[in-house]
Structure 1
Amino acid sequence: MSSPVLSRSAARGAGRADAGAPPRSRRAVALLVLVLGTLTATGPLATDLYLPAFPQIAADLGASEAQVALTLTAIMVGMGAGQLLIGPMSDAWGRRTPLLIGVAVFTVASLACVLVPSAPVFVGLRFVQGVAGAAGAVISRAVVRDLFDGDGAARFFSRLMLVTGLAPMLGPILGGQLLLVGPWQLSFVVLGAVSAVSFVVVLLWLPESLPREQRQARGARQLGSTLVMLLRDARFIGPTLTLALSFAMMFTYISAFSFVSQNEFGASPQQFSWMFAVNTVGMIAGTQVNAALIGRVSTPRRLAAGLAGALSAVAVLGVLWGTGWASLVSLTAVFCFMMFSVGFVFPNATTLAISSQPRSVAGTASALVGSLQFAVGGGLAAMAGLTASGQPSLGSMVVVMASTGVVAVAVFAGVAARVRHVAAR
């Protein structure tokens, strides 16, 4: 079922409103960015909105800080698992139906988090949130692959990150302000309301992008064969692992800095939220500079530049920690540059991975990209909490971020060399 609003916009720009036809008018593209941006932003909002409340949640539930941080890992792992489930479903059923189901379940799970009695129940509900919330991320990427190729996809992903970047920027700010007017549970009421709005947006304004004749229902064996094919394709797995490891580096900062800034450096929840916002502005700026370079600098080179910048920022972070010169101001500046560099990594790595595959497996490929991103990112980031005290520290953050950043660069360089070798044969 196609949305009459977006279909009419696409029809004016392209002369038809068929499923899979790319929107060509500026209004249609802008509307598509807004719709997909709303969907993709739900996941980051779910992870960031309650970050300023971590200490309060720990006290309210009688839990350790490590247990509260585990709720963040749970939603990441859930998003990873959910994408492997929902991606193939979208290849078989089309994009809209699995998306609507996922958004509806996410809404219910968000409101259920308001009533959690203990940390283990909270962790379980966050996992359910992650599985359901995976629909927005995986299907949004698949829709972009349905409609765009090459530089067009890279340009659209950069525009998409301009919208989705507002969620991690505004999430902690909103979360910090909500703590001034109510308990931490209020964040999940707001999250449920945003998800309910997303359901209406999808229902009214997102057309089906995968034509019925291109849909492929895969059994377990065929799905397994497709996944093996993707894992063995260097053009796909190289940028996918680079993305996952870079996400682990960034997510270590996201999951640990709330505790580090407040416990080690004495920041208030509101101060933390503003520092987080500044750093997210850096990421948004990076995505837009990346978009401006499309057509001038190749996608692999833009990705390499982003990796080099991010790793350089982590190296400076290590110096600040080792010398004892770290402060809230210096940390914010370093993290801002790191996030600026990440703004190059994410859209380019995603474009290289997704564009290397045909549309018929776009949902499954998108699912594998997302599942590895969240599973690897969430799992490795949790290592920052494996300290003697059970609490993340600036030192543990540096160790995990440096390790994942170095491996990301090594994977990208190694796979790039292999692809060049194969192409030269």
Structure 2
Amino acid sequence: MPKDPLLVAPAATVERSQERVGRLLVVLAALGAVAPLATDMYVPGFPGLVRSLGTTGSSVQLSMTAFLIGLALGQILLGPVSDAVGRRRVLLWGSALFTVFSLVCALAPNIDVLNVARLLEGVAGAAGMVVGRAVLTDRFHGTPEAPRHFATLSVIVSIAPIAAPVLGGAILGFASWRVVFAALTGFGVLLVLGVLAWAPESLPASRRHSGGVSSTFRAIGGLFGRRALMGYVLTSSFSGAALFTYIAGSAFVFQDVYGVSPTQYSLIFAVNALGMLVGGIVFGRIASRVGINALLVAGLGIAFVATAVLLLVLVTTGGGLVVTWVCLFLVIIGFGLVLPASTTIVQALGHDAPGATSGLLGGTQFVLGAAASPLAGLFGTDSATPTAAVMLVALVLSVLALAFARPWQGHGETVRLSGSSTTPGA
């Protein structure tokens, strides 16, 4: 007996909808992963790059700085633009220009051209990061799915920094640094195709900011007056500064201080990165039951206590490889809760201008992260104490920012009431 099509249709519709969401998340994850891939893939090729272009190590390192500056500027600029012109257009142009500037990097005849191209590559690459968060806000604001999707995005994107040096090293095993940028060019082409196929416009014309791009930039100024939103932005950004400090200082701590080999350090870094995955997975699974603010407080508490214990041990006993590794692993698990939780709440509070909000969040994270990363090195690299101390200061500021935001008031939590949804504190 044939099945009633009325009974079959809803299940089929749900399945198709889930497939579309899954494809969208894949594209958004790839768009978010392009920045860490472009940041780290070519690092193993620095010595060859110096010889190839006849330049200095500091000039090559400037190409990294230029890319990070481009990422910060791009997020601040492109987030508000997407509120005015739509998400898909910005994603397409960003992906296309990332492809073009990656190709320019691959063909760069000298270090000056490379550095300029890296700056512009960073601006273009920022489109995927900043607009991706806005797309999720457009599609899932006020639904229980929002925290889970932000966590999924965070987990997938966090794999990129682990994979990037491995991929770069594999390419450099048989080819030059130029092939690394050629691979990024190919990845950019795939991003363009992915956006065209699986990322429909999420911001209809009726919801775009009237008054053009200039009005959306004024919207960023309006965000500064929202106490809760700015509190969560600074919570996320100061936590990000602590994370950047860890990334910048961990190689010196484990290799120079504790004497592990580069291969062993790669293993330690990868294991710690798995802590980020664990935190993100836990957040995605229990956020709707426990509460986003509760998980944010818990994650920040774990990171803060683990860092404080590490610094205390280092100051009193000198520490050691095992205790340092365990403490930092716990810190990274904490960050795995803090980052998706704070992002979910910030985007919920700024849901009336998701692009501007995402730009403010991403830009602030990168500016504070770039400022914090070199601080530990200024105090010496012959001990793990400076890195732990800078991380603790950043986390103290993060705790103060969270207190300023008043998480006990439940800002940004999704509440379902009689089939509708509201966001307290928005």
**TM-score bracket relative to the smaller structure:** 0.7 to 0.9
| Count of residues in Structure 1 that have an aligned counterpart in Structure 2 | 402
CA 1:149–1:417 in 2, change beyond 3 Å: closer, same or farther? closer
Distance 2:339 2:113 in 1: 32
Q: 1:13 to 1:365 in 2, by over 3 A?
A: farther
* Structure 1 residue 342 displacement after superposition: 0.7
Measured in 2, the distance between the counterparts of 1:184 and 1:272 equals 23
Output one character per residue of 1:62-102: Cα deviation in whole Å (capped at 9) or x when no partner.
5456x655544433322121112111221111111111111
Asked if residue 113 in structure 1 is aligned to residue 105 in structure 2, the reply is yes
Partners of 1:221 and 1:197 in 2: CA distance? 32
What's the counterpart of residue 17 of structure 2?
Answer: 25
**Aligned residue for 1:222?**
215
- Kept in 2, the 8 Å contact 1:39–1:136? The answer is yes
CA contact (8 A) 2:84 2:213 kept: no
CA separation in 1, counterparts of 2:250 and 2:189? 30
> How far apart are the structure 1 equivalents of 2:208 and 2:399?
36
Question: What are the Cα deviations for residues 353-381 of structure 1, in whole angstroms up to 9, with x where unaligned?
Answer: 1101234x111111111111111212222
Amino acid at match of 1:411: A
Residues 139-171 of structure 1: CA distance to partner in whole angstroms, max 9, x if unpaired?
101100111124321111011123212212212
In structure 2, distance between residues paired with 1:418 and 1:206: 36
Whether the 8 Å contact between 2:80 and 2:217 is mirrored in structure 1 is no
Cα distance change of structure 1 residues 321 and 298 upon mapping to structure 2, 3 Å threshold: same
Pairwise CA distance, 1:341 = 1.1
Matched, 1:348 2:338: no
Determine what percentage of the aligned residue pairs are the same residue: 37
CA shift in 2, pair 1:265/1:172, >3 Å: farther
TM-score, with structure 2 as normaliser: 0.83
Matches within 5 A, 1:181-200: 181-200=174-193
1:412 to 2:396 alignment: no
Matching residue of 2:203: 210
Using the alignment, how far apart are the partners of 1:106 and 1:342 within structure 2?
Answer: 29
Judge which range, 182-191 or 412-421, deviates more: 412-421
> Is 1:302 matched with 2:291?
no
Name the CA shift for 1:397/1:53 in 2 (closer, same or farther; >3 Å).
farther
CA contact (8 A) 1:77 1:379 kept: no
Asked if the contact 2:104–2:114 (Cα under 8 Å) also holds between the matched residues in 1, the reply is: no
Unaligned runs of 5+ in 1: 1-9, 15-22
In 2, Cα distance between equivalents of 1:368 and 1:86 = 10
Alpha-carbon shift at residue 40 of structure 1 (Å): 0.9
Give ranges in structure 2 of 5+ residues lacking alignment: 1-9, 412-423
3-state SS of paired residue (2:219): helix
Q: Aligned partner of 2:307: which letter?
A: V
Asked whether the 8 Å contact 2:42–2:177 carries over to 1, the reply is: yes
1:247-286 pair list within 5 angstroms: 247-286=240-279
Query: Is this contact kept in 2: 1:176–1:270, CA < 8 A?
Result: no
Please tell me whether Structure 1 or Structure 2 has the larger radius of gyration of its CA atoms.
2
Q: Which position in structure 2 is the counterpart of 1:362?
A: 354
Is contact 2:133–2:358 with CA below 8 Å preserved after alignment?
Answer: yes
Deviation string, structure 1 residues 258-299 (Cα, Å, up to 9, x no partner): 455444445454433333222221101110111121222111
Q: Is the 8 A contact 1:47 1:72 kept in 2?
A: yes
Q: Deviations over 1:331-366 (max 9, x none)?
A: 44333222211110111101111101234x111111
TM-score, L = length of structure 1: 0.83
Shift of 1:250: 0.7
* Pairwise CA distance, 1:223: 3.7
Q: Deviations over 1:303-330 (max 9, x none)?
A: 0111111122322442454433333x55
The residue number in structure 2 matching 1:402 is: 392
